[in-house]
């Protein structure tokens, strides 16, 4: 059974394992995400995101196979960008730390996660969703 939902704090270790496994698998990949264990996403960031109700996970048969943070937070650089649609902080979401377990890439999991984010945003009067990504992360770009 599969389910996209908010992560629960008691799943912190499982979410952390998802990120560690993803980092390990991508380390030897042509498209390394450049994430580093305990650096990005940091353990504190993962825990805080779960506690704030911002960490979304895709669970398949009891295993977390995808995760992302969806919130209104962005770094200072976002403020200097001339966006096509100008909105207030309450009118946009930013997707952070979005990943799918590399061993299951190509099965539409990422698309389903993004579709869920769009539906959630629509229900919450969000006008814009932005993806926080490093320029060197070719698959994400």
pLDDT tens sequence across 41-53 = 999 999 999 999 9
pLDDT in tens, 37-94: 999 899 999 999 999 999 999 999 999 999 999 999 988 877 788 888 888 889 999 9
Residue 127's pLDDT is 95
Sign of CA dihedral 99, 117, 90, 128: positive
Cβ 67 vs Cβ 95: under 8 Å:
no
CA 30 to each of CA 48, 50, 68, 134: distance values in angstroms, whole numbers, following the listed order? 31, 30, 22, 16
CA atoms of 28 and 51, how far apart (whole Å) = 32
Secondary structure of residue 24 in the 3-state scheme? helix
DSSP letters along 27-91, please?
A: HTSTT----BTTTBT-HHHHHHHHHTT-EEEEEETTEEEEEEEEES---GGGGGS--SS---GGG
Provide the 10 A C-beta neighbour count for residue 67: 27
DSSP state of 11: G
Q: Which pTM does this prediction carry?
A: 0.90
All residues at 6 or more sequence positions from 38 whose CB lies less than 8 Å from its CB, including other chains: none
């Amino acid at each position: 059974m599969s389910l996209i939902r908010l992560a629960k704090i008691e799943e912190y270790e499982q979410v952390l394992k998802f990120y560690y496994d993803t980092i390990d698998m991508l380390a030897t990949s042509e498209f390394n995400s450049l994430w580093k264990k305990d650096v990005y996403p940091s353990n504190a960031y993962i825990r805080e995101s779960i506690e704030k109700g911002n960490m979304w996970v895709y669970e398949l048969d009891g295993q977390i196979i995808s995760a992302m943070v969806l919130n209104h937070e962005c770094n200072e650089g976002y403020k200097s960008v001339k966006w096509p649609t100008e909105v207030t902080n309450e009118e946009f979401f930013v997707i952070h730390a979005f990943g799918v377990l590399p061993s299951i890439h190509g099965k539409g999991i990422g698309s389903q996660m993004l579709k869920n984010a769009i539906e959630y945003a629509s229900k919450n009067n969000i006008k814009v969703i932005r993806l926080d990504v490093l320029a060197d992360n070719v698959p994400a770009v």
